[in-house]
C-alpha cells in the first residue's frame, strides 16, 4: 500500500476517521491550550493543520519541533472551525522522523528555509531544498502536469512519440553552439600538443556532440510514420546569460508529413491553446497561487489567449512596424531594427505587446538569419519560417516548412559551407519519396515560464545549467 498523501486526506469527507499525516513541518503556532502544526508533503499546494491539545504526551517533542522537520502525525480528521480550510486533524500522536534544527549545531548548520520570504536568487543557491517552498513545488507540479498534457495532446491526435538521439555528429541548427562529447584523454592530448587530435581514436570514431535538436532525426520518422514528435533534453553552448536561455533545456518537436507552413501554424496555435487550457483546468490550485503571488491577472490572460485567435504578421511587416516605432521614438530600442536583422527580445516584446496585443506568429524571415533546412520562398530571399511570440517572453516556438527539394537544399548547405557528405542520410529523404513537411520546436521551460509568470527560466527547471553553472 502506498502511504497516504495530504492531497487525498484534504479531499476526504471528515467522519472522525483516523488518518496518518506524513510530511515536513511548515509552521508551528502555540496558543494557550493548543499547538497548531501545519504539515506539507508537496502533493498539493495546501498543507494540513494538525492540532495538539495541551497536556499531550508528546509535549516535549512538540516543543522542540521546528520548521523543516519530517513528522508522522496520527489523528482524527475533523471539520475545521477555522476559515480557509475544510478539514483539520485532531492529533493523537506525534512521531518526529527527522529533525531540522533552527539554530546552528556542530556539523549541522540551521535549516535554511525558516519561515520567512526568501528571494528566488537565494533559493537557487539551495536548489536541492527549494522544492520545499510553495513556489518551487507549484512549478514542479505544473511542469509535471504539462509534460503529461504534451503527450496527451499528441497521442490523442495520432502522433508517434520518437526517441531521438542525445549524442550526435550533426549540428541540427547549423549554429555551432554544441557541447563536445569525448572519451579522449584531453590532458594527455594537451601534453602531446601541436598534434591535430585523431578523432578516429575517440569513442565513436569521430567527433560527436550533445544534440541541439531532435528535428533532423524526427524528420526521418515523419517521412515514414507521417505524424511524429520528440520530447527530450537538448543542449546549447550559447554563452547567453539571459532570463530565457539555458544550456540544457527540454524541447518538444512535432514533425508533420504532407503539411505546409499554414498547417504548421495551425498546429502550433492549437497546441499552445490546449496547453493553456489544461494548465487552468488541471492546475487550478497552483495557478491561483501564481496569480496572487507571482503575476497578477495571469489566469485571465491565459484564458483569453486560450480562447482567441493568434495574430499573424510577416517579418517584413514586423520590421516595418519596428522601424516606424524607432522613427517616432529614438530611445525605444537598444538595437536599431532594419530588414535583415535578427529580432531582439525587445523587438519581440514590442510586437506582442504594442502591435498585436497578444501572441503573434511572425513568418517569412530572411534566409540568412535562419537554419539551413528551411524552405526557400519564391523571392529567393526569405524562408518559410515561423516564430510564435508571446507577451512577456518573446519567442516560445520556432519552426518552419522544410526544404524538400534536393538541389535547393544542397545548394543552401554549400552556400553555408556545410559538408553535405555528413548529412547524406538527411538528404536521402529528398532523394527517396520526398514530401512537403513541416514542424516546430517549443522550449518546455519557456512554456512553463509563460504559464506560471516566473520571470527567470532558472526557476522553472529543477537544476538549471548555464554558462559557468552546473551545481547539484
Residues that bind ligand 4AD (CB under 6 A): 172-173, 213, 215, 236, 238, 245-246, 249, 251, 253, 395-400, 439-443, 445-446
Q: Which is nearer to ligand 4AD, 17 or 240 (CB)?
A: 240
| Residue 367 interacting entry, from ligand 4AD, Mg ion, none, C-beta within 5 to 8 Å by type | none
Q: Binding to Mg ion by residue 47, rule CB under 5 A?
A: no
* Cα–Cα distance for residue pair 279/447, rounded to 1 Å: 11
* Cα–Cα distance for residue pair 306/300, rounded to 1 Å: 10
The least CB distance from residue 429 to ligand 4AD, in Å, is 15
The least CB distance from residue 397 to Mg ion, in Å, is 8
Q: Which is nearer to Mg ion, 62 or 343 (CB)?
A: 343
Specify whether the CB–CB gap between 153 and 267 falls below 8 A: no
Q: Which is nearer to Mg ion, 364 or 398 (CB)?
A: 398
SS3 category, 409: helix
| Residue 356 interacting entry, from Mg ion, ligand 4AD, none, C-beta within 5 to 8 Å by type | none
Q: How many residues bind Mg ion (CB under 5 A)?
A: 1
Segments of 298-352 assigned E as strands: 311-314
Q: Which three cell numbers stand for residue 432?
A: 527517396
Q: Please name the helix (run of DSSP H) or strand (run of DSSP E) that holds residue 21, with its range, or none.
A: strand 18-30
The least CB distance from residue 17 to ligand 4AD, in Å, is 47
Judged by phi (left if over 0) then psi (alpha if -120 to 50, else beta), residue 253 lies in beta
Q: Binding to Mg ion by residue 214, rule CB under 5 A?
A: no
Instruction: Classify strands 382-390 and 360-366 as parallel, antiparallel or unpaired.
Output: antiparallel
The least CB distance from residue 202 to ligand 4AD, in Å, is 26
Q: Which is nearer to ligand 4AD, 297 or 462 (CB)?
A: 462
DSSP-assigned letter for residue 214: S
The contact mask relative to Mg ion for 377-406 (x = CB under 5 A, - = no) is: ---------------------x--------
Closest residue to Mg ion using C-beta atoms? 398
Which residue in 128, 110, 134 sits closest to 47, CA to CA? 134
The least CB distance from residue 431 to Mg ion, in Å, is 28
The least CB distance from residue 214 to Mg ion, in Å, is 15
Q: Which is nearer to ligand 4AD, 231 or 289 (CB)?
A: 231
Which residue in 367, 339, 374 sits closest to 261, CA to CA? 374
The least CB distance from residue 398 to Mg ion, in Å, is 3
* Cα–Cα distance for residue pair 396/241, rounded to 1 Å: 17
Q: Which is nearer to ligand 4AD, 48 or 318 (CB)?
A: 318
Task: Quote the Cα angle for 134-137-143, to 5°.
Answer: 140
Q: Which is nearer to ligand 4AD, 44 or 261 (CB)?
A: 261
| Residue 396 interacting entry, from ligand 4AD, Mg ion, none, C-beta within 5 to 8 Å by type | ligand 4AD
* Cα–Cα distance for residue pair 275/272, rounded to 1 Å: 5
What is the distance between the terminal CA atoms of the chain, rounded to a whole angstrom? 32
Residue 189 CA: distances (Å) to CA of 6, 148, 206, 209: 56, 45, 16, 19
Residues contributing to the site for Mg ion (CB under 5 A): 398
Amino acid at each position: 500500500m502506498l502511504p497516504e498523501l495530504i492531497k487525498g486526506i484534504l479531499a476526504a469527507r471528515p467522519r472522525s476517521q483516523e488518518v496518518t499525516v506524513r510530511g515536513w513541518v511548515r509552521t508551528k503556532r502555540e496558543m494557550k491550550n493548543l499547538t497548531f502544526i501545519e504539515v506539507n508533503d508537496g502533493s498539493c499546494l495546501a498543507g494540513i493543520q494538525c492540532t495538539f491539545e495541551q497536556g499531550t504526551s508528546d509535549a516535549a517533542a512538540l516543543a522542540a519541533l521546528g520548521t523543516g522537520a519530517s513528522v508522522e502525525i496520527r489523528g482524527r480528521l475533523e471539520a475545521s472551525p477555522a476559515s480557509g480550510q475544510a478539514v483539520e486533524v485532531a492529533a493523537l500522536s506525534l512521531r518526529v522522523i527527522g529533525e531540522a534544527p533552527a539554530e546552528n549545531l556542530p556539523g549541522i548548520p540551521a535549516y535554511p528555509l525558516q519561515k520567512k520570504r526568501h528571494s528566488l536568487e537565494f533559493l537557487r543557491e539551495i536548489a536541492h531544498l527549494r522544492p520545499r517552498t510553495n513556489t518551487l513545488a507549484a512549478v514542479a507540479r505544473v511542469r509535471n502536469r504539462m509534460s503529461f498534457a504534451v503527450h496527451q495532446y499528441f497521442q490523442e491526435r495520432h502522433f508517434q512519440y520518437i526517441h531521438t538521439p542525445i549524442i550526435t555528429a550533426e549540428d541540427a541548427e547549423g549554429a555551432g553552439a554544441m557541447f563536445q562529447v569525448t572519451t579522449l584523454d584531453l590532458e594527455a592530448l594537451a601534453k602531446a600538443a601541436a598534434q591535430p587530435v585523431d578523432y578516429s581514436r575517440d569513442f565513436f570514431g569521430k567527433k560527436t556532440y550533445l544534440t541541439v535538436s531532435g528535428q533532423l532525426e524526427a524528420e526521418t520518422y515523419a517521412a515514414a510514420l507521417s505524424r511524429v514528435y520528440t520530447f527530450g533534453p537538448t543542449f546549447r553552448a550559447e554563452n547567453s546569460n539571459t532570463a530565457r536561455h539555458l544550456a540544457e533545456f527540454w524541447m518538444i518537436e512535432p514533425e508533420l508529413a504532407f503539411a505546409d507552413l499554414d498547417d504548421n501554424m495551425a498546429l502550433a496555435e492549437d497546441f499552445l491553446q490546449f496547453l493553456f487550457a489544461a494548465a487552468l483546468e488541471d492546475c487550478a490550485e497552483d495557478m491561483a497561487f501564481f496569480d496572487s503571488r507571482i503575476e497578477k491577472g495571469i489566469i485571465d490572460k491565459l484564458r483569453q489567449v486560450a480562447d482567441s485567435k493568434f495574430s499573424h504578421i510577416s517579418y517584413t511587416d514586423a520590421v516595418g512596424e519596428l522601424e516606424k516605432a524607432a522613427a517616432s521614438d529614438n530611445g525605444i530600442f537598444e538595437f536599431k531594427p532594419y530588414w535583415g536583422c535578427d529580432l531582439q527580445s525587445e523587438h519581440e516584446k514590442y510586437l506582442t505587446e504594442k502591435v498585436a496585443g497578444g501572441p503573434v506568429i511572425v513568418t517569412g524571415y530572411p534566409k540568412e538569419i535562419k537554419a539551413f533546412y528551411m524552405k526557400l520562398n519564391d523571392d529567393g530571399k526569405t524562408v518559410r519560417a515561423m516564430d510564435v511570440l508571446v507577451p512577456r517572453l518573446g519567442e516560445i516556438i520556432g519552426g518552419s516548412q522544410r526544404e524538400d527539394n534536393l538541389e535547393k537544399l544542397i545548394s543552401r548547405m554549400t552556400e553555408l559551407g556545410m559538408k553535405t557528405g555528413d548529412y547524406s542520410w538527411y538528404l536521402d529523404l529528398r532523394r527517396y519519396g520526398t514530401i512537403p513537411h513541416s514542424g516546430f520546436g517549443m522550449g518546455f521551460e519557456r512554456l512553463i515560464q509563460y504559464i506560471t509568470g516566473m520571470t527567470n527560466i532558472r526557476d522553472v527547471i529543477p537544476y538549471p545549467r548555464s554558462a559557468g553553472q552546473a551545481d547539484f
